[in-house]
Structure formats: C-alpha cells, structure tokens
A and B are shown apart, each in its own frame.
Chain A
C-alpha cells in the first residue's frame, strides 16, 4: 500500500512536471577539482554562453575519443561560439591520481573535474558513459546524449551554434 502511494505520488508529480523537464538546471553537488579541492557545481557557468558537460573515465575508451575530438576542435569552437567544456571524471580512488597526469599528457585544454564517488553522476541520472550534456547560457540542460561514435561531435556543435545564435 505504502509503495503504491509513493509511486502514485511520483507519477502525479511527473505528470505535472512534464512541461518543465527540458528546463532542468544542473543539481548542486560538491565535487572536486583535479587538485582534490571541493568544487561546487554552481560554479559551472560561462557568462551567458553555452556549456558542454561530459562524463568520462580513464577506463572508458569511447569517452576519451569523444574528448579528443572536442579538444581538436576546441579552439575553433571557442572562437566562434564562446562554448566552454567541462569534463567530469568518474574515476574513483583507484585511479584519481592518474587523471591529472593523463589530462596534461593528452594536452586537453578544457576544464576537468573529479567525481570520485559518482555523486554528480547519480544526481544527473547518468547510467552509462560517455554521457554528455549541453547547457544553454542560463545553465539549463537543453540536450544530452550517450555513447560516442566518430563524427558525433559535429551534430553536437550544430546545437551549440544554435544556442549561441550562429546559424
């Protein structure tokens, strides 16, 4: 009985919120910088310009391929749209120490954050990685996708341009 009630409650809430779903903010969670210092997700901002937020890990090859593809285009993308990329590593304490050397070793130019106990991953309901979110200038989630295949970065960039008002 209790379960049923809880379920109906959520079903109702869900129903009444459907129109708002596309308007979600990033949840407020404290994660870490590469140096291990606390970092609040409310600091993920970009002065009214779009933000790409991508979940990855050292053991995830497609994630790294996606981020390599972002990195290759990052300078051009920034110049055209001012987009900012945050890559959130969900590596846990077995491999967090290797994240910074690898990020530098690959010469990635965007911001990398650590989510060692998957707190942000859970709060954003990420099932599998790579999982990439696109936020508009107000920090609202406008689109998201999982998996990476060669060339998918161009479709994402089309959306970035649309948000930035460049067709």
Chain B
C-alpha cells in the first residue's frame, strides 16, 4: 500500500496535469481536543474508586476537507481515550468514523461514504452530529441530489447509520432508504415569479429495513414513513407546517406496541423591523424512529423531533432543560421580540430590546383499546388517541422575559426572569419525584473600561422547593479583546434539603485566542446536571479537576 502511494505521488508530481491536483486544490480543516484530569473530591462524593484509575479523559477530533473544483473529499479522526465523564461508555475508541468523497455540479451532486442529511424539519430523516454531546448518527452509504431545473430539488439517500464504533455487518442494525422532493412554486410556475405569496412545497418518504429475529412477535421488517410540508410567506407573514406519518414500528422505546405514528409541527410568524411574533404548535404520537428497534438510548435515530421551547444560555436557566418525549406530547410556544425605539422614554438613547417567551408541553391522551387490555401493553395496538385532546399532565412549562439595554457607552445589561414547571419524573426518569417549580432570575452586566478591556458580571438565582432546592450563582469575566479572558465563577447549592450537600461549585478559567485558535484552561467543579444541544440531552455527573480545551481551524 505504501509503495502504491509513493509511485502515485512520483507520477502525480511529475505530470503537468497533476499539478492542478496540488495547485488548484484547497484544504481546510479543524482540530479540537478536550481533556480532563479528574481528582477525588469528598464533598461531591467522588472517591478514588469512582474514578477507577481513569484519572484522565480525552475527546479529540481532526477534520480535513480537500476540494478541487467540483470534487471534494474529507475525513474525520476521532479519539475518546477514555471518554470524558458523562459520555456514553460505548464512545470509547478511536478511528475514522467519517470518510467521504463527493462530486457536484449545478445539476447533480453525488456523495459516497458518510454524510449528514435532513428532509424538511427532520421529522422522518435527519442525520447530524453534535460534538459536545458525543452524538453522531451519520449515514454511511450513498446520496444523490438532483436539481433538474430551477426551484426543484430531489434527494435520494441509502445506507446504514453510525452506532458508536460498531461496524455494520450481518444486519446487526437496519438499512435506511429515503427520497425527498422540494419545489419552489414561484420558480417553477409561469407567472408566479413575482407573486406576492411565496410558496414552497415538499414531500418525503423513508423506509427502514431490519430483519425480524424476535422469538415472540411478528415484527414489520420494512417500516415506512412519509411526510409532507408547506412554507407560505406573504409580506410580513410566514407560515410553515409539516405532517409526518409512520406505520406501526414496535420498539424498545414504545414498549413494542403496534401503534402507528404521527407528528405535526406548525408555525406562524409576523415580523417587521423592531417587532417579531411567532406561534408554534406541535403534536407527537409514538414517533421514535430508529434504525435499530432494540436501542433505547440516544443513538441511531433516523428522525429528529424538535423540542419547541427556548434553549437557555445562562447556566441556572438551563439547569432543567426539556427533552422531546417521542412517545407522545403536545406543545405550543409563543415568542415576542420588540425593540423599544431610540429616543423614546423607555427606549433611551440606544433603544431597549424585549423578548417574551412562553412554552408548554403536555402529554397526549391515551385510551385503552378495549376493556380488558391495559394501555401500552406490549404486542397490542397500545392505545387509541384523540388527535385534538390534550392530557392534563404537564411535562414542561417555561415563561420567560428578557430585557436588553445599553445604558451608555460604558454599561450594557441583560435581565431575565423565568418561571418553570419541569416534570423531572418523566424527563429525567426520576420516578415518583414531584415536578420542579422554580423561579429563576439572571442579571448580566458588562462594563467597558477601554475599547478593548471589559468586565462582565453575572448574578443568577434559582428558587425552588423541589429537587436540590435553591441555587445562587455569580461569575466575573475580565476580557482583553480579542485575545485574553479570565473567568471566576461559583454556583452555590445553598438550599439543598440535605445540609451536607450544600456545595460550592467553583471554577477558575482562562483562555487565549488568536484568530480561530482557542486555548482554554478550567480548574474546579462541575455540578451534576443535564447538557442539551439541539434537542439531544446528556446527563453529566459531578466532577472535579482540570479541563483543557484546544481548538483550531484552518
């Protein structure tokens, strides 16, 4: 093999045509290393035996893309040696899970190898990766994208999904096949080019094949799903909706019931400079869709059911994040963004930004299929459900207001209030625990000393009678833009019902940035909690020690 490459390069560099391979090509890439050194910490209950010799964790990757005109190829190396605390132990390993090559022109695009794809909102197909969560469900196979004429896109995908480091062989998980078509009517229908209403329609179908080896049940080996979507925009209004349907698909997630699946996602918004309003509605009924029906965790998802609630940025506001309940939920979200104009009494010299957000998610109503069968009994149709009925059981409610204000050239402020209802028993699986009802407040102040030097102060409070009780948090960050930052922070669980667990979770960190290279060091404690990005969440255990992050891009 090595000889082959040597010969290859000798030829490559001595022929004129091959010079293009080098001269006109572009290479881009990125690297990231997250390392942690753990230490025992009696107060947090972390002992040497819990660490179990794994004093160091490392998650790292390197990504390289090669492009020559219409051809490109890329690869990603990953190492989890051992994975950081809180990552799935199946993540442990190293190798090249992402290798691909592709050719594309205006008419056709072909990719072989690993790829990421999404149809519509992803209700029946979405492959993506989220490094911070260790989530990757890339498809290994082929993808063809056709653009036969302006405004028409047709996509076809075929392959198997990544399941950590386990290679696909002998049908150890399913095969995924999908087709999607999207038409922009304004570009395809004569006379609609400059119509006031902009219309986009799309339809997709996905099928999964997995052999039925179940000794008990007769399971569908081919599970089909389809979806249709519509986007309408007219002036300041925008309407988008998608409906998806899946045939019965008994799985570990739905307790092996033969119920069909449905999902709907709709949004209506109005916006003009200075004002934006949006209302979103969602209904999900038995819509987990995985390429292995036996998998229960966050892996091999074929589809993506987006949670529709605000993803919070401040640590205590983000302490109780919602995760989609694929077996059934009905939700709505409302958001208003308004900028009080400059020069008014409330707007002041620079204007004031206001954001109001409300979301609530309830369970769906499930009725028994007959008088003698309990709801959700394995091997049965499970239940019947009225499409428009909402259960009284509230999974999640979040009402929050945020005000942003530039006070003068030296000071900026963000103030946030949040009222939360969080069904911890359902969302985190803490059976029997009462729902967390909390008030959360955040004050974020930035003071500018000079044009480059600034100090940011964050004060947060979380007040609740449930779970771990009250928290307070404070943070100070001094930055010398664009190179340096120094940060000290403490989260104090002063209201923990168990007086021995009223811990401080302090951290000290600093970082250096140059262009796209970032080096950061953090020493301290991480509290137990849930980290969510883009709809997937991961439980993070308490830890104590030193963290180093290096990332760069070229």
A interface residues (Cβ-Cβ under 8 A, vs B): 1-6, 8-10, 12-14, 16-17, 20-21, 23-25, 27-28, 30, 35-38, 58-61, 65, 68, 72, 92-98, 100-107, 116-119, 122-128, 131, 143-147, 149-152, 154-155
- Decide yes or no whether B5 CB sits under 8 A from chain A: yes
Instruction: Count chain B residues whose beta carbon lies closer than 8 angstroms to a beta carbon of A.
Output: 102
- Give every chain A residue within 8 A of B233 (Cβ-Cβ): 35-36
CB closest residue in chain B, given A133: B516
Pair B554/A98 contact, Cβ less than 8 Å: no
- Give every chain B residue within 8 A of A60 (Cβ-Cβ): 313
- Give every chain B residue within 8 A of A101 (Cβ-Cβ): 269-271, 276-278, 335-337
- Give every chain A residue within 8 A of B452 (Cβ-Cβ): 151-152, 154-155
Bound together, the chains give a CA A20 to CA B26 distance in angstroms of 7
Pair A117/B126 contact, Cβ less than 8 Å: yes
B477 to chain A, nearest CB (A): 9
Pair B2/A94 contact, Cβ less than 8 Å: no
Bound together, the chains give a CA A151 to CA B308 distance in angstroms of 34
Could you say which of B66, B122, B513 contacts A146, with CB atoms under 8 Å apart? B513
Which residues of B (352-370) have their CB < 8 Å from a CB of A? 353, 355
Pair A92/B515 contact, Cβ less than 8 Å: no
Pair A94/B306 contact, Cβ less than 8 Å: yes
Could you say which of A105, A143, A150 contacts B454, with CB atoms under 8 Å apart? A150
Pair A145/B482 contact, Cβ less than 8 Å: yes
Q: Is the interface of B mostly helix, strand, loop or mixed?
A: strand
- Give every chain A residue within 8 A of B4 (Cβ-Cβ): 5
6 A-B pairs with C-beta separation under 8 A: A14-B64, A59-B313, A105-B336, A144-B516, A146-B553, A150-B481
A23 to chain B, nearest CB (A): 8
Could you say which of B184, B337, B446 contacts A102, with CB atoms under 8 Å apart? B337
- Decide yes or no whether B312 CB sits under 8 A from chain A: yes
- Decide yes or no whether B497 CB sits under 8 A from chain A: no
CB closest residue in chain B, given A104: B271
Evaluate whether A125 and B276 lie within 8 angstroms (CB atoms) in the complex, with A25-B26, A105-B339, A145-B513 already known: no
Pair B65/A94 contact, Cβ less than 8 Å: no
Bound together, the chains give a CA A143 to CA B276 distance in angstroms of 33
B interface residues (Cβ-Cβ under 8 A, vs A): 1-2, 4-5, 9, 22-23, 25-30, 32, 63-67, 72, 75, 95-96, 99, 104, 116-118, 120-122, 126, 128, 131, 153, 182, 184, 198, 200, 231, 233, 238, 240, 265, 267, 269-278, 280, 304, 306-308, 310-314, 333, 335-339, 350-351, 353, 355, 404, 412, 414, 444, 446, 448, 450-454, 456, 479-482, 485, 511, 513, 515-516, 518, 534-535, 551, 553-554
Evaluate whether A8 and B2 lie within 8 angstroms (CB atoms) in the complex, with A59-B313, A150-B479 already known: yes
Pair B311/A95 contact, Cβ less than 8 Å: yes
Bound together, the chains give a CA A152 to CA B482 distance in angstroms of 5
A97 to chain B, nearest CB (A): 4
- Give every chain B residue within 8 A of A143 (Cβ-Cβ): 515
CB closest residue in chain B, given A35: B233
Pair A119/B481 contact, Cβ less than 8 Å: no
Pair A105/B481 contact, Cβ less than 8 Å: no
A26 to chain B, nearest CB (A): 10
Bound together, the chains give a CA A59 to CA B117 distance in angstroms of 22
Bound together, the chains give a CA A20 to CA B22 distance in angstroms of 10
Bound together, the chains give a CA A96 to CA B485 distance in angstroms of 31
Pair A105/B353 contact, Cβ less than 8 Å: yes
A148 to chain B, nearest CB (A): 8
Bound together, the chains give a CA A5 to CA B75 distance in angstroms of 13
Pair A27/B67 contact, Cβ less than 8 Å: yes
CB closest residue in chain A, given B270: A101
Pair A125/B63 contact, Cβ less than 8 Å: yes
B536 to chain A, nearest CB (A): 10
Pair B116/A119 contact, Cβ less than 8 Å: yes
A134 to chain B, nearest CB (A): 10
Bound together, the chains give a CA A96 to CA B121 distance in angstroms of 9
- Give every chain A residue within 8 A of B9 (Cβ-Cβ): 12
CB closest residue in chain B, given A42: B106
CB closest residue in chain A, given B357: A98
Bound together, the chains give a CA A122 to CA B513 distance in angstroms of 21
Interface centre among A5, A21, A30, A128 (most CB of B within 10 A): A128
B356 to chain A, nearest CB (A): 10
A67 to chain B, nearest CB (A): 12
Could you say which of B1, B72, B353 contacts A1, with CB atoms under 8 Å apart? B1
Could you say which of A9, A30, A127, A151 contacts B451, with CB atoms under 8 Å apart? A151
Could you say which of B1, B122, B412, B516 contacts A92, with CB atoms under 8 Å apart? B122
Pair A104/B273 contact, Cβ less than 8 Å: yes
CB closest residue in chain A, given B479: A149
Could you say which of A12, A123, A149 contacts B485, with CB atoms under 8 Å apart? A149
- List the 7 closest pairs (A to B, CB-CB), nearest first: A105-B337, A101-B276, A94-B306, A150-B454, A104-B271, A97-B267, A105-B276
Bound together, the chains give a CA A122 to CA B29 distance in angstroms of 10
Could you say which of A1, A3, A9, A155 contacts B481, with CB atoms under 8 Å apart? A155
Bound together, the chains give a CA A60 to CA B511 distance in angstroms of 18
Pair B337/A104 contact, Cβ less than 8 Å: yes
Pair B25/A117 contact, Cβ less than 8 Å: no
- Give every chain A residue within 8 A of B29 (Cβ-Cβ): 125
A90 to chain B, nearest CB (A): 9
Other than A20-B23, A101-B270, give 8 A-B pairs with Cβ distance below 8 A.
A14-B27, A37-B231, A92-B304, A95-B310, A100-B238, A127-B32, A131-B553, A150-B446
